[in-house]
Structure 1
Amino acid sequence: MSSIDPAALTGLDRLAPALAEATEDDRWRSCTAELIIGGKSNLTFTLRSDAGELVLRRPPTGHLLPSAHDMAREARVQRGLAETDVPVPRIVLVDEGDLIGVQFYVMEKVPGHVVRDRTPDGWAETPEERRAMSFALADTLAALHAVDYDAVGLGDYGRPEGFMARQVRRWSGQWDKSHTHEVPEMEELARRLAADVPQQQRATIVHGDFRTDNVVYDAGDPARINAVLDWELSTLGDPMSDVALLMLYWREAGDDGLSLVPGVSHLPGFPTRAEMLDRYATAAGVDLADLTWYQAFAHFKFAVIVQGVAARSKAGAMGGQDFGDLDDLVLRLGAEGLDHLKEH
C-alpha cells in the first residue's frame, strides 16, 4: 500500500477541537486517525484519544460521481433510525465541508465483530451459531423494511414511486461514467432490465448494500447485531432490491467467489440462500415468489460498483488501497445477470 496521511485526510488539526466541543470532552483535543482498511467507496477512519474511540467517514479523494458520497445523508438516516428496532451507531458530529473541505460525519464506535472472510476464533463456530448469526441478518433486514419512514422523519428521504426504473437509469448512468472499455454483457443487461421493470409491491427504507460485513455482531452472542453500518446507498424504495442483493452476496459452497466481498456464507454450517429467503419472508410477512428480475438487477448494480472501485483505486482515490484487476468479475456479473433474466 502506498503511504497516506490520515491526519491530512481527516483534517485532524481542525477536527480535534470540533470533536472536543461536540462531545464536551477536552480529551478529544489530542487524537489520532487511522484508516480502516477494506472500505470500497467512502474512506473510514478510527479516531483515538484518551476519551476512547470514534469513527469518521468521508468521501474518497479525487473526482466524485454526481449524487455519490453524501455524508450528511448517511448521518440523517442513522439519526432517524436511532429509536427503532434497527440498531445504528450514535452520530456525534456532521460537517458539510467547512472543517476539512469535504462532507464527513463522526459516529460512535460500536463494539463487536465485523465479519468479512472468516469468523473470529472461538465465535460462531458451530452450525447452530452460524445459523443464528445468519438469521439475525435476515431478521434485521426485515426490521428495517418494517420501519414507518414517515413516523421517524424520513418521509422525504427518497421517492418510492418508480424506484426500480430510476435505479436502472441511475446505475446505467454510473456505468457510462466509470467503465473503461466496452462490456457487451453489461450493455445488454442494462437494456433488458430497463425494458421489463416489475411492478413494485411495497415501499420501505432500503439499505442498498446489506451484507454481513456491513453490520457489527455482538462479540458475546452471534445471534445479536449491535449496529448496521454503511448507509451510503440508502433511500426509500423497493425492499426486494435489498433482498436480491443480499442473495448475490450470500455465496453457497461451490459458488464462484466475489473478490471484493469474500464473505463466510459458503463455509460449513451456514444456511442456504433458500433458507435465508424463507427466514426473511417469514419475518417480513411477505411473498418472495419472483426474485429473478431483482437478482439480475443486483448483478448489474454490483458490477457497476465493482467498476467504480476499480476506477477509484486506479486513480489513487482509495487511500492507497489496491483491489487488483476487476475486469473478469465485471464480465462474470454481467453474464450471470443475463442468465437470471432467462428465468424471468
Structure 2
Amino acid sequence: MVQTKDTREVRKGEELDVGKIEPFLRNEVANLPDEELEVRQFGAGHSNLTYELTIGDWEAVLRRPPMGPVAPKAHDMEREYQVLKAIHPVFPLAPKPYVFEKGDLLGRPFFVMERRHGLTFDTKFPDGIEQTAELGRTLSDTMVDRLVELHAIDYTTTDLKNMVKPEGFMERQIHGWIKRYEKARTDDVVSGERLKKWLVDHIPVSDQASIIHYDYKLNNAMFDEQANMVGLFDWEMTTVGDPLADLGAAMSYWIEKDDPELLKTGLGKKPLTVYEGFYTRDEFIEAYAARSGRDLTNINVYVTFAYFKLAGIIQQIYYRYKNGQTNDPRFASMNVFVNNLIKHAEETAGL
C-alpha cells in the first residue's frame, strides 16, 4: 500500500475491526480486488473519526462518530450520508457516498465514500508548493467562487427539499446554539450572557434559502496544483438555510494576520490565511457580495453568531475531554480558546 502523507497509523483506542469491515465491503461494493483491506487514519480534524480504506488499488474513506458519548443530534452519520447523496449529483466537489451502516456492525454508525486526492492547505504549504502572494490570492478567489456556486444551486431540485425546513433558520440557530453552549458549559469557561442577549436581540430576518455547507474552511477543501478545487469535505452540518450564515461561519475560520494571537493559534498552528496574498475577511466578504449579488448589510450579525457557534462546537469537544470521554491531548486547553472566541465575538458585536 502506498502511504499518503495525509494519513497516519490508527490512534490507539480508535481502531476499526478489519475482520468485520472487509466482508461488509465485499458484500456492499462490487468488484473489489482480492488483496487484504488495510486501514490508516486521517490525522486532521477534532470531531468525527475518518479512515483511509485500501484494498489493492481500490480506495475509500470511512467516517464515523468520535469515541464516547456525543451531543444529541451531533455526528449524525446517516444524515450526512443522505446529504452527500443529494448534493453530489449537483455539486460534484462533494464526494460520492457508497454505503451507510446503521451501527449493527461496529456498535456505531458509519458511512463509506470515495477517496479524493489533491493538495490540502492548512497550517503549512504542501511539499513542493511555493508560498507566493499570487497563490494566496488564487486560493482565496477559488474559495469565494465555489461558495457562491454552492449557494446558487436550486435546492428544490434535490432530495434535500424533503430533509430541511429553511423557515425561521436563524432564530432556531441562535436559540439552539445558546442551549448547546449552556448544556456543555464547564466551570472554566465564561457564561457569555451579554453576547447571548445581544444575539437574541439581533436575530436576522431573511427569506433567502440555499444549500449551506456550514463548515466551509480552507482545510476542508482539496486543490490541484493550479489551485482549482477538486474536493470539498465534512458535510456534517450541511442544511438549507440563510446563505449569509454560511458566509459568516466561513469567516469565523478565516484568520488574518492582524488577528489576536490566541485566535490564530486556538486550534493549533496558525492557518495559512495569515500569509501574504490571502484575502482579509473584508475582502472575502466584498468579493462574495460582488459575485453573488446578495445584500450583506447585516453581515456583522452573522459573523458574530459564527464566533459564538464555533465556541459552542469547541466547548462540546472540551466537555467530552474534561469528562473523560476522550483522552486526546489536543483538547486539553480548548477552554482557553472558547473563552477567547466569546471575547472576540463580543468585540465583533461592539459590546
User: Is this contact kept in 1: 2:11–2:41, CA < 8 A?
Assistant: no
The equivalent of 2:30 in structure 1 is 24
The equivalent of 2:277 in structure 1 is 269
Shift in Å, 1:191: 2.2
Shift in Å, 1:280: 1.4
TM-score by length of 2: 0.90
TM-score by length of 1: 0.91
Q: How many residues end up aligned between the 2 structures?
A: 339
Q: Secondary structure at the match of 2:157?
A: coil
User: Is this contact kept in 2: 1:54–1:107, CA < 8 A?
Assistant: yes
The equivalent of 1:171 in structure 2 is 177
2:293 aligned with 1:289? no
User: Is this contact kept in 1: 2:10–2:40, CA < 8 A?
Assistant: no
User: Is this contact kept in 1: 2:308–2:345, CA < 8 A?
Assistant: yes
The equivalent of 1:333 in structure 2 is 341
- AA of the residue aligned to 2:157: A
- d(CA) in 1 for partners of 2:322, 2:119: 30
Segment of structure 1 superposing worse, 58-67 or 92-101: 92-101
User: Is this contact kept in 1: 2:304–2:345, CA < 8 A?
Assistant: yes
2:110 aligned with 1:89? no
% identity of equivalent residues: 32
2:222 maps to which of 201, 204, 216: 216
Name segments (4+ residues, structure 1) moved above 4 Å. Answer: 182-185, 315-319
Query: Unaligned stretches of 5+ in structure 2?
Result: 1-8
Distance 1:5 1:20, change over 3 A: farther
Deviations 1:4-39 (A, max 9, x none): 1444xx332111112123321343772122221122
- AA of the residue aligned to 1:309: I
Shift in Å, 1:124: 5.6
> What is the Cα-based RMSD across aligned positions, in Å?
2.2
The equivalent of 2:157 in structure 1 is 151
- d(CA) in 2 for partners of 1:325, 1:2: 23
User: Is this contact kept in 1: 2:49–2:63, CA < 8 A?
Assistant: yes
Distance 1:27 1:2, change over 3 A: closer
- d(CA) in 2 for partners of 1:338, 1:185: 12
Q: Which has the higher contact order (CA 8 A, sep 6+)?
A: 1
User: Is this contact kept in 1: 2:10–2:39, CA < 8 A?
Assistant: no
2:118 aligned with 1:112? yes
- d(CA) in 1 for partners of 2:105, 2:284: 43
Q: Secondary structure at the match of 2:331?
A: coil
Once the two structures are superposed, the pairs formed by residues 1-344 of structure 1 within 5 Å of their partners are: 4-7=12-15, 10-27=16-33, 30-123=36-129, 125-181=131-187, 183-184=189-190, 186-218=192-224, 220-222=225-227, 224-256=228-260, 257-260=264-267, 262-315=270-323, 317=325, 320=328, 322-342=330-350
Distance 1:254 1:342, change over 3 A: closer
Query: Unaligned stretches of 5+ in structure 1?
Result: none
User: Is this contact kept in 2: 1:20–1:28, CA < 8 A?
Assistant: no
